[in-house]
Amino acid sequence: MSHTMLFIATISFLGCLTTPSIAQDSRWGSPDDPTVKFIIAIEAKWASSSCSPQPDLKAVIADDFQGTATDGHRYNKVEAIATDPKAVARDCQLGDVKVRFFGDFIAIAYGSESRIRKAEGGNDVGIVSDLERVLHLRIRYE
């Protein structure tokens, strides 16, 4: 009897110490939402940056930005906004992009981008990348 009471008391005590988990609210952004339009416009500039310089990206990419290229190497803000004249692609396009908001300050843009660049042998190589960027919004959206 005393072991049972001790067990129940221990479980009750431990149950009081646990904190409830609350899932963060999330929602898909409407295409008419000004924040969604802004994010998609920036993503279009990002997609175009392989074809031509996009100086506006400097203002919207965080100074401590860290990205991962499709080949796995890491790069920073300076490399992200740099354009290598020898590696310029053509036909840079942003596919359909959807934005999902999590809480008040985080959004993830989902979609794809494509471009055509020259391979080492001089042949055109089409590249299609899936887009999934986590964005920390410095503005509060409604």
Q: Is residue 11 part of a domain?
A: no
What CATH number does the domain containing 92 carry? 3.10.450.50
E strands, the chain, are 26-28, 66-68, 74-76, 90-94, 98-102, 106-118, 124-136
Q: Is residue 13 part of a domain?
A: no
> What pTM was estimated for this model as a whole?
0.69
Q: Is residue 7 part of a domain?
A: no
Higher pLDDT among residues 21 and 47, named by residue: 47
Q: Is residue 122 part of a domain?
A: yes
Q: Is residue 112 part of a domain?
A: yes
Residues 101-128: tens digit of each pLDDT: 988 788 888 888 888 877 776 677 766 6
Q: What is the span of the domain harbouring residue 90? A: 25-136
Q: Is residue 2 part of a domain?
A: no
| Residue 11 clears pLDDT 80, i.e. is over it | no
Average pLDDT over residues 13-24: 61
Give the total number of structural domains in the chain.
1
Give the integer Cα–Cα distance in Å for 104 and 114: 30
